[in-house]
Amino acid sequence: MTKVLIPMMLCLFFVGATLVKGAGKNVFDYTLNTIDGQPAPLSAYKGKVVMLVNVASRCGFTPQYTALEAVYEKYKDQGFVIVGIPANNFGAQEPGTNQEIKTFCQSKYNVTFPMMSKVSVKGDDKTPLYQYLTDKAANPKTVGDIQWNFTKFLVGPEGQIITRFEPKVTPDSPEVTAAIESALAPLKR
């Protein structure tokens, strides 16, 4: 009996330690690279409400850049930031280099919100941030693979994920702006 109990207890200890380790994580524990290749710890946004969006330049949803920029301009002075994260996972709709993506976003949509370097948001090479965002144990409210470009995650000032909006939900829709305003409300106190 002891021979069975000890390995079982060790297994439970390691599983418990792993769960506790993952339980303390939040969005601000991750680092991406800026579109210019510099490290960009997301902890720099601690205390702000953040919207993470996987973007693409050749997608039917690409015109959402206009609404993203408008929402960013509307709320940025209240503690809100949008972080654009290019990904080429869906229909090869983001084939360009980081420099090409940056030029496109600035010249076509006048994007001023932070843009990161291209990553993978789905599959075996999924970046750790997106592994976390879509993980069932860590984030049961937002679990599930990214289905397409322009999926939006709203993150609270302590790095907790508030909600997820699928690509068809525009950044300036009433449900998104209501969620942003609700998340910003405590910052105004």
Q: Which residues are tagged catalytic?
A: 59
Do residues 173 and 180 lie in contact, with contact meaning Cβ atoms separated by under 8 Å? no
Amino acid at position 6, single letter: I
Could you give the dihedral angle defined by the CA atoms of residues 85, 172, 183 and 32, in that order, rounded to the nearest 10 degrees?
10
Close Cβ partners of 125 (under 8 Å, ≥ 6 residues apart): none
What's the alpha-carbon Rg for the chain, to the nearest Å?
Answer: 18
Distance CA 21, CA 125 (A): 22
Distance CA 150, CA 153 (A): 10
- Give the residue among 129, 130, 157, 125 at the shortest CA–CA distance from 145: 130
Q: Return the residue matching tokens 């690409």.
A: 62
